[in-house]
Amino acid sequence: MSTRSFRAPGRVNLIGGQVDYHEGWVVSLAIDREIRVDAKVRDDGRVIATSTTFDGAVDVAADGTDDPRAVRPDWGRAVAGVAGALADLGRAAVGGELAFSSNLPVGAGLSSSAAFGVACALALCDTAGLALPPRQLALAAQRAEHLAAGVPCGVQDPMTSVCGRAGQAVFLDCRTLEVVHIPIPKEVGVLVVHSGIARTLEGSPYAARRADTEAVATSLGLRVLRDATFDQVRDLPRGRHAVTEMQRVREFASALESNDIGSLGPLMLASHASSRDDMQVSTAELDALVECLMDAGAYGARLTGAGFGGCVVAIGPSEEMDSIAHGAIQRYRARTGLEPTAWRVHAAAGAGRVT
């Protein structure tokens, strides 16, 4: 079998933070930064992986029996996790040689780990002749991340990577996994700015914050907070964030569909405030970056991803995004002494084979 190439985009979460694991709704973009992998079959039952981003070669069993936590180098845990998740779905123990490359920054909150898992799953499915429907592919990548990192991540990241569409946002119902694609108005630009502080879920308070919200659901006799009312969580900050954030997401999706651009920014700002105050997943630097982006002319901005560092996403007039980026960077650098990095991003197609 000849070498074949696959790609999986990162994602930016426009709105809908910390609600996917409560079966809520989110609006995200698959972005034009991605992880690629070149793959070919090996006949020795081993998966050998290399990366232009990470050092060292990975060597794991193709049958998924290696414990991801024992794999070295550390980045190879993700490969072992994918092998294990796919083995559970019936993938034959066919070896593979995988070569990864990326223009997606790590630790930025742009779902590099989910994109890696999706790209790896596509490649390993192909080498073994296993065809998975999109939802099952995304769920396999989610399961692989649970196995590899021990982090209870939600489903929005791999679903967005798999189901993205050029020029359109992904409005995802995390209960039914139904996807609605909504065009991004041409006059609206999307900017991602890295705070200069790397973010990693592993070792962060992410799992603790999730546990807090799950405890709220349990105290209300509910499985997830999607089924809670505002009156039930009015005085419970973690629960209040989840319930109000889900409402904001639905309003944001409706505003996008009706081209009500004026409503988008305030909803993003309210989302950030709730993430900061009720979920307590923001940082002083992320808060400052949001303020700097607004001062530079953005319509709205919020932390993206799980928080605790990484990136802020902003929207604004499409023709002014370069000047907004420049102004925000200058303000933020002067205010914090940190060096931010900005990327103009566009909604991209979902994962697949590169032809």
pLDDT tens digits, one per residue of 35-69: 999 999 999 999 999 999 999 999 999 999 999 99
Can you tell me the mean pLDDT for 210-227?
Answer: 97
Distances (CA, A) of 310 to 182, 285, 307, 323: 26, 10, 7, 22
Q: How confident is the model at residue 355 (pLDDT cuts 50, 70, 90)?
A: confident
Q: Is the confidence at residue 203, as pLDDT, over 90?
A: no
User: Are 137 and 18 within one domain?
Assistant: yes
- The contacts of residue 341 (CB under 8 Å, 6+ apart) are 105, 193, 194, 196
Is-above-0.75 flag for pTM?
A: yes
Domain end residue (candidates: 153, 175, 197): 175
Q: Is the confidence at residue 204, as pLDDT, over 70?
A: no
**Predicted local distance difference test score (pLDDT) of residue 196:** 93
In the Cβ-directed half-sphere of 221, how many Cα atoms lie within 13 Å? Answer: 1
Report if residue 352 sits inside a domain. Answer: no
User: Are 298 and 329 within one domain?
Assistant: yes
Other beta carbons within 10 Å of 1: 12
Domain end residue (candidates: 175, 209, 233): 175
Distances (CA, A) of 252 to 1, 26, 30, 171, 299: 46, 9, 17, 10, 13
Q: Is the confidence at residue 200, as pLDDT, over 70?
A: no
User: Are 115 and 198 within one domain?
Assistant: no
User: Are 203 and 311 within one domain?
Assistant: yes
Report if residue 288 sits inside a domain. Answer: yes
User: Are 116 and 198 within one domain?
Assistant: no
User: Are 16 and 81 within one domain?
Assistant: yes
Domain boundaries, position 263: 181-345
Question: What average pLDDT does the structure give for the chain?
Answer: 95
Q: Which of 133-137, 206-210, 211-215, 280-284 has the lowest mean pLDDT?
A: 206-210
Alpha helices (H) along the chain: 76-88, 112-128, 134-149, 156-163, 206-219, 230-233, 237-257, 261-277, 284-295, 321-336
Other beta carbons within 10 Å of 135: 16
User: How many structural domains are present in the chain?
Assistant: 2
Q: How confident is the model at residue 289 (pLDDT cuts 50, 70, 90)?
A: very high
111 or 298, higher pLDDT: 298
**Predicted local distance difference test score (pLDDT) of residue 199:** 67
User: Are 89 and 134 within one domain?
Assistant: yes
Separation of CA 246 from chain center: 17
**Predicted local distance difference test score (pLDDT) of residue 198:** 80
User: Are 55 and 115 within one domain?
Assistant: yes
Domain end residue (candidates: 175, 201, 236): 175
User: Are 33 and 100 within one domain?
Assistant: yes
**Predicted local distance difference test score (pLDDT) of residue 202:** 56
User: Are 14 and 125 within one domain?
Assistant: yes
User: Are 267 and 293 within one domain?
Assistant: yes
Say if residues 19 and 242 touch (Cβ distance below 8 Å): yes
Report if residue 351 sits inside a domain. Answer: no
Active-site residue, from 63, 66, 126, 157: 157
Can you tell me the mean pLDDT for 92-100?
Answer: 98
Can you tell me the mean pLDDT for 84-108?
Answer: 93
* Structure tokens given for 76: 């190879």
The verdict on whether 157 is a catalytic residue reads yes
Helices (H) and strands (E) in the chain, counts: 10, 12
Report if residue 353 sits inside a domain. Answer: no
CATH code, domain carrying 84? 3.30.230.10
